[in-house]
Structure 1
Amino acid sequence: MKRYFLTLLGLILSLSSFAQSFNVLAYEPGKKLTWQDFKGRPKPSDAHKGAEITVSIFLKVKETSFWSGGVTYDAYAVAFKDESWVKPAYRDDYSLKHEQLHFDIAHLYAETLEIELNSLDRKTLKQKDQVEKMLQDKIALMQAHQDRYDRETYGGNNYAKQKKWSNKIAKALKIINTEAEV
């Protein structure tokens, strides 16, 4: 339920200045999370977890062409600091790297959404309900990927699987963060 609410909040919040007042951290390639980014407290239902980062995707209009009416979107991953937490016994580098991969996965989905949106024709881009549906669908896919990551790594407790996921995400980040040469 909490994730559904935060996903809905991610859809509503689109201006970064507005988002800042909600203690939201925007993903920046090359910048890693620190435990200071985790300001929330675990709920009683989180007794079996050591840490959790809550992420989503924000979308905003980057540019609208005066002449053609074309719209360019900017999609980016965010972490909700007040909804992300860590228990004292888990404040270690290994756990932080596990949570960083959750943020990295969100970034990958945000970047692919941005590419998909900006590849659409102008008519489709102007249809806000179509853009909103694409955003909702991408967030749902991202959440399913996040759940699979935790399931396969047992929340980071399966070190061999964690290493495989780390390598897979690192490779994907390298591809998506590489500037295309023109």
Structure 2
Amino acid sequence: MAFILINNRNWLRLLPLLLLFLVQIAGKAQSVPTANLQFQKEKIALANTRSYYVLDVIDKRKLKPNELGEINLLGKPNNLVIQPTLARALYDFWSGSTRVRNELSVPLEIILEDVSVSEKRIAPNKIAGELKVRVSFQWTRSMEPLHLTTYQSASTYTRPEGSYDHEVVFRRMLTGAIKHFDSWIGQNDGKNPLLARGVKLVFDEVDYAEKGDTVFYKPSRKLTWEDFQGSYNRPGSKYSAAVFSSLSYEGGSRMRNNLLEIRISLKVFMVKSMSWGRPEARNTYTLSHEQLHFDITRIVAERFKEKLKKMDLTIENYDSQIQYEFLETFRELNTEQEAYDGQTSHGLNSTQQAEWHRKIKAEIARIYQGT
């Protein structure tokens, strides 16, 4: 900062010099001149545009929304700018070739991470420059952005001072970006879970063969006392018999027709070595009581299956949703078994035992109706 000391006699004489000084300072504070760029629209040859469309272009660069960097024109630095903004210009540029869509088309979001140019004068009449492009592709599913792929390219050059067609090089690189994504989605659509449009739940009815210590539930395969192989010497136990029955499931997933197909098979089983019966209690009535415990396990497993069919499973969270419901089913199973034993007094109340027998057999018949 410069200061000029003047007195009252001389200030009029020095006023022109002061004004000239202020004009010179203002001239030095002027911004760098700008050069405008426009993207020439063209129809880009893309093979997979029915699988996606450009929903939005989001500018996350460090530059201002309409700036591309600094270039050198006639030996002077110039800001290269585009109107109204780069994001708007590239949305128009890309979306013109991706307008075909259907209900399964991915709404693509393109993130501009770096689209820039920089130049410097390295010798008289010689300019060195570099153009950079880095864009990432994502889509938002169930309110969660999913990164799909990234395209990156750079171009270095030297040129004489004077005009230079930056638009042609930028357009070639940005055309390469959308072609990169078009190729990526052509290779991944229908295969990559990131592109799944929804969930389809499929239950596999597997006829598990009896194996060693385990008896898998079948309506035609009734329990016999030979299945109760555990020790019946239970000090303090007042019960005549007990069957250890439980349930589990196996699951897997695969992409099929743009949906994530979840396949589940249920297992309802009893374990021989953990099931027991006292010799004096091994009669038809007691065995029938234990068979109903096994039947109840099968009924609760079916309820688990029906609940899953009604659930709105999400691609991001289906596994935890299923596991939570499975834990709830186990609680329901314990509650149901306790209610059965409580109301029948562990089979001693023959009236209640007959009522439970009627109710459970009707439910089992409904499950296997038509099979």
The secondary structure found in structure 1 opposite 2:314 is helix
**Residue in structure 1 matching 2:266, options 64, 75, 97:** 75
One-letter identity of the residue aligned with 1:142: L
1:113 aligns to 2:315 (yes or no): no
RMSD of the alignment, in Å?
2.5
Q: Gapped runs of 5+ residues in structure 2?
A: 1-207
Q: Indicate the structure with greater helix content.
A: 1
After superposition, residues 22-41 of structure 1 pair within 5 angstroms as 23-41=213-231
Give the one of 104, 117, 121 matched to 2:295.
104
Query: Is the CA contact (8 Å cut-off) linking 1:125 and 1:131 kept in structure 2?
Result: no
1:173 aligns with 2:364: yes
Counterpart check, 1:60 vs 2:270: no
Cα distance in structure 2, aligned partners of 1:45 and 1:89: 16
AA aligned to 1:31 is: R
Task: Return closer, same or farther for 1:32/1:63 CA change in 2, 3 Å cut-off.
Answer: farther
TM-score, with structure 1 as normaliser: 0.79
1:126-156 alpha-carbon deviations (Å, 9 max, x no partner): 5322211111110110111101111111111
Q: CA deviation at 1:42?
A: 3.1
Residue 50 of structure 1 pairs with residue 240 of structure 2: yes
* 1:62 CA drift (Å): 6.8
Partner of 1:127: 318
CA 1:162 to 1:72, structure 2 compared with 1: closer, same or farther past 3 Å?
A: same
The one-letter code matched in structure 2 to 1:89 is E
Given the superposition, is the C-alpha separation of residues 71 and 41 from structure 1 closer, same or farther in structure 2, using an over 3 Å criterion?
A: same
Distance 1:39 1:148 in 2: 26
Structure 1 stretches lacking a partner, 5+ long: 1-15
Q: Deviations over 1:70-90 (max 9, x none)?
A: 213222321121110001001
Mean alpha-carbon deviation: is it higher for 32-41 or for 117-126?
Answer: 117-126
For residue 148 of structure 1, the aligned residue among 334, 339, 342 is: 339
| Alignment check: 8 A CA contact 1:71 1:126 kept | no
C-alpha spacing 1:123/1:33, structure 2 compared with 1 (3 Å) = same
The equivalent residue for 2:329 is 138
Q: Secondary structure at the match of 1:132?
A: helix
1:119 CA drift (Å): 3.7
| CA pair 125-142 structure 1, distance change in 2 beyond 3 A | farther
Give distance in 2, aligned partners of 1:46 and 1:37: 23
Q: Deviations over 1:18-51 (max 9, x none)?
A: x946x22211122111111111113535520110
Contact 1:117 1:125 in 2 (8 A): no
- Tell me the secondary structure at the aligned position of residue 123 of structure 1: coil
Distance 1:66 1:25, change over 3 A: same
| Structure (1 or 2) with the greater strand fraction | 2
Residues 313 and 321 in structure 2, CA contact (< 8 A), matched pair in contact too: no
Assess if the C-alpha contact under 8 Å between 2:260 and 2:315 holds in 1: no
Matches of 2:253 and 2:219, distance apart in 1:
22
**Matches of 2:265 and 2:214, distance apart in 1:** 16
Aligned equivalents of 1:61 and 1:74: distance in 2? 7
- Whether the 8 Å contact between 2:253 and 2:260 is mirrored in structure 1 is no
Amino acid at match of 1:96: L
Identity of aligned residues (%): 26
Give the count of matched residue pairs.
163
